[in-house]
Amino acid sequence: MKTTDAIETIGYRPTWVEINLAALEHNYKQIRKAISRATGIIACVKADAYGHGAGPVSQRLVSLGVEYLAVASIDEAITLRKEGIKTPILVLGMVLPAYVSPLFKYGITQTVCTWDLAEAISKHAAYFKKQAKIHIKVDTGMGRLGFAYNEAYDLVREIARLKFLKIEGIFTHFPSADSDTAFTRHQVDIFNKLITRLEKSGIRIPMHHAANSMGILHYKNSHLNFVRPGLILYGLYPKKGLKIDLRPVMSLKTKVVFTKRVSKGEGISYGHSYHTKKDTTIVILPIGYGDGYPRSLSNKADVLIAGQRFKISGKVCMDHILVDVGDARVGTGDEAILIGASASERIGAEELARLIDTISYEIVCGIGGRVPRIYPDQGVV
């Protein structure tokens, strides 16, 4: 990147996220290979596409023929519509019955799991004389949103009578696909039973979906006619040892902005939780927990500088990270990679997550809006 480009695209602080849309495309195609031709994809691009930038990510997926996108809120759906995305969008989260009018203005599909919401959408639909598409969510064991499994049959039948509503989809979600196979199989089983029972009573719902990333990779009979991948699109594995070739999409990079020689025994950063063990070089990176890089990674995570691993030294600050590089010849302006690959080394979001007992989802979603996203293979967004 030339200096002028860098300033135009990422600003005056050399800290940025690089999104590899070619890797996204690769992962998408791997998912297509893992499902049957008759199965469609609802790509989860909520939380700004897990921190990857919902606009550019959705645009690439749409160009690849994705059938549906899923977001958490009406606001996220509106943002995509304003960026020109015309593909159907499903809102996975709830909306209060008073706030349903944007569904009509922007042509958004809402998840429904209360009678009140179904009724509110139906009333609006009657007023606008437009049929509204909804997906019904059924709780088969997640214990979060959804019609209770035992009540779902009766409620779906009642909702099906609302003539301005079109029940386009019915779905459920897995709480433990990575850890409890028997439970997940049971969920698929009872969900299928519900669909069959509804069909026998004359209610045919076109879209049936249950599988998240883990469902796609580990439970073929959960694919139904649509799947809802999130994590694996971004090249992250929900579990070790899964047989799919994924490429990580996000890299988090910065550059050394300051270096200094420090004598043996000096305390470094807030609280002096790190002391130099010998005379050494300390370098400063302009990124911190103010960018969503977790403070709990202090003295734990590695960074890559010139293809070599170095551990973060002392506390991660709001805007800075310090690294003891020993006698390595590291200078101002050298690139440092916090997530990503350099030479034969790579640091994955999974690695950072393991160090602090969380999941890779939280690491990538957490990288804040202060860090510009750049898309080298499509220009800058």
Give residues in contact with ligand PLP (CB under 6 A): 44, 46, 92, 173, 212-213, 228-231, 238
To the nearest whole angstrom, how small is the minimum distance from the Cβ of residue 223 to ligand PLP?
13
Q: Measured from the CB atom, is 87 or 131 closer to ligand PLP?
A: 87
- Can you name the residues that pair with 309 across neighbouring β-strands? 304
CA distance 141 to 177: 11
Tokens of 5: 């480009």
Find out whether 165 and 125 touch, Cβ atoms under 8 Å.
yes
- Between the alpha carbon of residue 116 and those of residues 96, 112, 258, the distances in Å are 9, 9, 58
Query: What minimum distance in Å lies between the beta carbon of 7 and ligand PLP?
Result: 35
Question: Active site residue: 239, 270, 277, 278, which one?
Answer: 270
Cα–Cα distances in angstroms (integers) from residue 169 to residues 47, 128, 138, 195, 204, in the given order? 22, 22, 11, 11, 10
Question: 90 vs 282, which CB is nearer to ligand PLP?
Answer: 90
Q: In whole angstroms, how close is the CB of 173 to ligand PLP at the nearest point?
A: 4
Q: Residue with the closest Cβ to ligand PLP?
A: 230
| Closer by beta carbon to ligand PLP, 145 or else 190 | 145
Shortest CB 136 distance to ligand PLP, Å: 13
110 in Cβ contact with 97 (< 8 Å):
no
Sign for the CA dihedral angle at 141, 147, 212, 205 comes to: positive
CB of 230 to ligand PLP, least distance (A): 2
The least distance separating ligand PLP from the CB of residue 144, rounded to whole angstroms, comes to: 9
What's the closest the beta carbon of residue 37 comes to ligand PLP, in angstroms?
Answer: 21
Of 179 and 201, which CB lies nearer to ligand PLP in the complex structure? 179
What is the four-CA torsion angle of 208, 214, 219, 224, rounded to 10 degrees? 10
Please, which residue, 61 or 312, has the CB nearer to ligand PLP?
A: 61
- β-partners of residue 337 are 253, 304
Closest CB to ligand PLP among residues 111, 254: 111
Catalytic residue among 46, 133, 255, 315: 46
What is the Cβ-side half-sphere exposure of residue 193, based on CA atoms within 13 angstroms?
Answer: 10
Q: How far is the CB of 24 from ligand PLP (least distance, A)?
A: 14
Return the number of the residue (321 or 364) whose C-beta is nearest ligand PLP: 364
Residue closer to ligand PLP by CB (options 46, 373) is 46
Question: Is 277 noted as a catalytic residue in this protein?
Answer: no
Q: In whole angstroms, what is the distance from residue 177 CA to residue 215 CA?
A: 6
Active site residue 46: yes
Catalytic residues: 46, 270
